Chain A
Amino acid sequence: DTGVSQNPRHKITKRGQNVTFRCDPISEHNRLYWYRQTLGQGPEFLTYFQNEAQLEKSRLLSDRFSAERPKGSFSTLEIQRTEQGDSAMYLCASSERTENYGYTFGSGTRLTVV
Chain B
Amino acid sequence: DAKTTQPNSMESNEEEPVHLPCNHSTISGTDYIHWYRQLPSQGPEYVIHGLTSNVNNRMASLAIAEDRKSSTLILHRATLRDAAVYYCILRGFSNSNSGYALNFGKGTSLLVTP
Q: Which positions in A face B, CB cutoff 8 Å? A: 4, 31, 33, 35, 40-45, 48, 50, 55-56, 91, 93, 99, 102-108
Which of A33, A45, A107 counts the most B-chain CB atoms under 10 A from its CB? A45
- The A/B interface has a contact count, at CB < 8 Å, of 60
Residues of B within 8 Å of A107, CB to CB, are 41-43
B102 touches A45 (CB 8 A): yes
B94 touches A104 (CB 8 A): no
Q: A41-B106, A91-B44 are in contact. Are A99 and B32 (CB under 8 A)?
A: yes
Interface of A is mostly: strand
A sample of 29 inter-chain contacts (CB < 8 A) reads A31-B99, A35-B104, A41-B106, A42-B106, A42-B107, A43-B102, A45-B102, A45-B103, A48-B101, A55-B97, A56-B97, A56-B101, A91-B43, A93-B43, A93-B44, A99-B91, A102-B34, A102-B36, A102-B49, A103-B36, A103-B44, A103-B46, A103-B102, A104-B46, A105-B43, A106-B43, A107-B42, A108-B42, A108-B43
